[in-house]
Structure 1
């Protein structure tokens, strides 16, 4: 773990560069300490898979002063026992998903590439609880991991020009829901009727880094009853 200066009021904390629950827990632990100890100085904080991007107020603290305080906190995380950083998840969010073939646009293609049946793909996907590793690409787009290796198929070679809002996709070891209609190259296996972003509430996004996500399969009728569209 090291602190790297990006500009006069911006730094990045780099962790071990891999996707893992342990690193994610360290990222979340450090973010929580920063929120508690350095909130008076921080303008913006963006946690990700294995890094935290920070901007701070130069009117309140100079660059070296902020780095010194930040390095003191990073030492706490580095020296913490694994048990102290393991429980970094914040809340469990359950999301209803219709895994029907009408909305699972790539289910048939995935059966060919994996050798699994549609039922096996669906079962393997929804039986796990996933972690929010990062937010990005578009508002409310949460990068979740990690899917089981048998269904960890790569991104599509040719992205779609438009992926319907609520679509649930897989790309490698990651899975995610498209909060809005947008271009995208993930393999689509289902769709949720749940609205993931609401600009009338604060915060507008349902997810935070560190949250746990559980996908609950629902029937076609339940999907429609909850406001789902085809």
Structure 2
């Protein structure tokens, strides 16, 4: 599959394989990013991978757009096996005040709440990329049976640890922030901690398994993780 290359502003270009959520395509995106980093171009500022595209940010004082495009051309055929990182289990208490949209997700898809929980927690998800917030892992490819559109009007405040659905994506809010995903549960784990050696709990290529837990276990784990009781 040949990617499309197009300019983004005056200091970046986008290598795009279309709008898909696919393990093979995402692996190729990361393979190209690794090949560019290995090439150690003096003009390269940063590479930002997404589901099926790679943003290449360069220093326009050191290189022109045409030169960047010519330099990365030979790297676009870089192939890479799907990198499998750690298997990380994410405990989640589903529903009630922790997942206020779970009944909407169920009704929208003609299911009951128990079915939504079972379908959401069954797969092992792949972390495609980190974005939006520090430590926000995009986990694509959820089961079509629970795919649900975003809120028409985003919430001004979503609690850290909230697990949400947006279309065929699922993800976890690492920090309290505004957000428009449909919230179905919450994890007590701290997904982003700037004091840790690796601040983000999840990394691209990691595999994620959601594990349903009861509220009592959530409170115990929350206290252990955050050093304070859950209010």
1:198 corresponding residue in structure 2: 193
Question: Which 5+ residue runs of structure 2 have no aligned equivalent?
Answer: 224-229
The alignment status of 1:171 with 2:195, answered yes or no, reads no
1:180 corresponding residue in structure 2: 175
Between 185-194 and 49-58, the greater mean CA deviation after superposition: 49-58
Task: Tell me if structure 1 keeps the 8 A contact 2:95–2:102.
Answer: no
What's the TM-score, normalizing by structure 1? Answer: 0.85
State how far apart, in whole Å, the 1-side matches of 2:150 and 2:65 are.
Answer: 40
State how far apart, in whole Å, the 2-side matches of 1:210 and 1:130 are.
Answer: 10
State how far apart, in whole Å, the 1-side matches of 2:38 and 2:201 are.
Answer: 22
State how far apart, in whole Å, the 1-side matches of 2:103 and 2:20 are.
Answer: 31
1:145 corresponding residue in structure 2: 140
What's the TM-score, normalizing by structure 2? Answer: 0.85
Structure 1 pair 8–154 and aligned structure 2 pair: CA distance change class (3 A): closer
1:56 corresponding residue in structure 2: 58
Task: Tell me if structure 2 keeps the 8 A contact 1:28–1:210.
Answer: no
Partner-residue secondary structure (3-state), 2:216: helix
Task: Tell me if structure 2 keeps the 8 A contact 1:28–1:209.
Answer: no
93, 98, 103: which one aligns with 2:98: 103
Q: CA deviation at 1:7?
A: 5.0
Structure 1 pair 17–186 and aligned structure 2 pair: CA distance change class (3 A): closer
1:189 corresponding residue in structure 2: 184
1:37 corresponding residue in structure 2: 39
State how far apart, in whole Å, the 2-side matches of 1:58 and 1:91 are.
Answer: 37
